Amino acid sequence: MDTFFAILQVASLVLLLVLIHRPLGDYMAMIYTGKRDLRVERGFYRVIGVDSQSEQTWRAYLRSVLAFSLVGVLILYAIQRLQAVLPESLGMPAIPEGLSFNTAISFVTNTNWQSYSPDVTMGYSVQLAGLAVQNFVSAAVGIAVAIALVRGFARRREGTIGNFWVDLTRGILRLLLPFAILTAIVLIAGGVIQNFNGFTDVTTLTGGTQSIPGGPVASQEAIKMLGTNGGGFFNANSSHPFENPTAWTNLVEIVLMLAIPFSLPRTFGRMVGDTRQGFAILAVMSTIFVVSLTALTLFESSGAGSAAQAAGSAMEGKEDRFGIFGSTLFATTSTLTSTGAVNSMHDSFTALGGMMPMLNMMLGEVAPGGVGSGLYGMLILAVIAVFIAGLLVGRTPEYLGKKLGPREIKLASLYILVTPTIVLLGTAASFAIPGIRDDVTTTSIWNPGVHGLSEVLYAFTSAANNNGSAFAGITANTPWLNTALGVAMLLGRFLPIVLVLALAGSLAAQDKIPATAGTLPTHRPQFIGLLVGVTVIITALTYFPVITLGPLAEGLQ
């Protein structure tokens, strides 16, 4: 019966994504290539003083991204610090400085890492005016950067890559907002709560009293999934029945996480004038997704240790409503899309099972990745793959008619080095600096030894890759981790964006090179296999040593 339901879930998911892929991908291409502005958009442009018909160089585009994000951090920090005097605060005090700093960066960078219990820390004003707003705008920023890179490949001898303010506005008003409203209604129909009831005291079956929080959950749940933001209204996240009541809402939330990232390759293909290129990128993403899901499901189904084997599977930390496969499918989706939402506790997975979500993030979350970030991450890896292929046959590498010279390869190489550097330095500092090590091992880590190393490694991997999920066995609300993870989120988001936009500007300035008999076809199975190999091998070579010290060592015990 479990196998039947697993097959049914997979078939339903594949069918829904197939039905969504083409129309949504074409619609997004139309959004970002159209010349006409909506009336509400023209009014907004007048307010902020933007000429929607003028375009920006990559440097101006980057300055707009950074300035907008900086303002977002400052506003969200201020809202948290002023919580006590805001309406609908539910009597909660101001959020401490360190936690406010960490949370502000977390939500502006599309990470949504939460070092706190949301339902007992934040009132409705912070949740709605602060966190939910950033769920929209941070997702729109990621898509805008991806579109800018696609324009770099599509344009010829142009010094501009679009207008950030136009891309941001269209992404919110034409894509994220209408789809979030529709999906919130679907979630409400499925039992996700949407109210302003505050806390309700109830009498339990044993005669005790329990305080049950309410809140505007469905509206935030919809955009946190659709924008691959993550986080949760409740501490239990998507395992909480108020956030994720049934097996079919679980499937809906998985579809929401995958809908835009799996449709963006179609947008890419349409914008560069060759849909075969989009299908090639989609094939790579799908292959990695299927392999990861299969491995995680096998690890969790086989279990490890006498208790799991006696039970027939490893059900610790999982919801009976979803079972093994509903949990592994959700975990694979959330850690391959930079969403960070969880419906089971990754800390309770088997040792090798817990390694898989970590590896998903270490891949750069490119299969299919976050909204926008997954596409531009995969295109960077495609540049590396074309470069390697060019070295093998002794030709100057070309991709989509653009010559990949030293400048382009340096930018792509720096991109793939940024995140591992942040992860490994953060993890190493947590154990190498005496005062910090003592705090981490005595306060933060609940499970000492090898598993404790995995918890810290997972935290920095999640932060630097802007995922936001956690092993849930670590106390991160400490001065060191609030600061270090905040810096990791900041650098992990914006250093890659700098490199992506610089690459976009370099490509847009080039003319297109005609294809010749020696041009590498980048839409055929050979290139798909090469790109899969490059994606996995780069990750394995970078992270394999530290993985052997953590989850692999634990799994082999």
Interval 337-371: pLDDT, tens: 999 899 999 888 988 999 999 999 999 999 999 99
Q: Which residue in this structure is represented by tokens 């947008």?
A: 267
Asked if residue 310 has pLDDT above 60, the reply is: no
Interval 76-124: pLDDT, tens: 999 999 999 999 899 899 999 999 999 999 999 999 999 888 888 999 9
Distance separating alpha carbons of residues 111 and 469, to the nearest angstrom: 9
% pLDDT > 90, the chain: 76
Could you give the angle at the alpha carbon of 293 between the alpha carbons of 20 and 6, nearest 5°? 75
**Residue 147 burial class via C-beta count within 10 angstroms: exposed 0-12, middle 13-18, buried 19 and up:** buried
* Confidence (pLDDT) at 216: 93
Identify whether the C-beta of residue 303 lies closer than 8 Å to the C-beta of residue 309. Answer: yes
Interval 257-307: pLDDT, tens: 999 999 999 999 999 999 999 999 999 999 999 999 999 999 988 865 555
Q: Is 305 left (phi over 0), alpha (psi -120 to 50) or beta?
A: left
Interval 250-271: pLDDT, tens: 999 999 999 999 999 999 999 9
Structure token digits, residue 441 = 């091992």
Alpha carbon separation from 324 to 8, 316, 343 (Å, rounded): 14, 10, 11
Asked if residue 1 has pLDDT above 60, the reply is: no
Structure token digits, residue 116 = 């706190």
pTM of the model: 0.95
Identify whether the C-beta of residue 249 lies closer than 8 Å to the C-beta of residue 7. Answer: no
- DSSP 8-state code for residue 238: G
Arithmetic mean of pLDDT, 321-325: 88
β-sheet bridge partners, residue 92? none
Identify whether the C-beta of residue 125 lies closer than 8 Å to the C-beta of residue 86. Answer: yes
**Torsions phi, psi of 212, nearest 5?**
-105, 120
Interval 207-227: pLDDT, tens: 888 888 889 999 999 999 999
* Confidence (pLDDT) at 312: 57
- DSSP 8-state code for residue 90: T
Distance separating alpha carbons of residues 530 and 520, to the nearest angstrom: 12
Identify whether the C-beta of residue 546 lies closer than 8 Å to the C-beta of residue 424. Answer: yes
* Confidence (pLDDT) at 305: 54
Identify whether the C-beta of residue 531 lies closer than 8 Å to the C-beta of residue 284. Answer: yes
Interval 486-524: pLDDT, tens: 999 999 999 999 999 999 999 999 999 888 777 889 999
HEC sequence for 420-480: HHHHHHHHHHHHHCHHHHHHHHHHHECCCCHHHHHHHHHHHHHHHCCCCCCCCCECCCCHH
Stronger pLDDT, 212 or 134, i.e. the higher one:
134
**Residue 370 burial class via C-beta count within 10 angstroms: exposed 0-12, middle 13-18, buried 19 and up:** buried
Structure token digits, residue 349 = 């997975």
* Confidence (pLDDT) at 143: 98
Stronger pLDDT, 538 or 67, i.e. the higher one:
67
Identify whether the C-beta of residue 101 lies closer than 8 Å to the C-beta of residue 482. Answer: yes
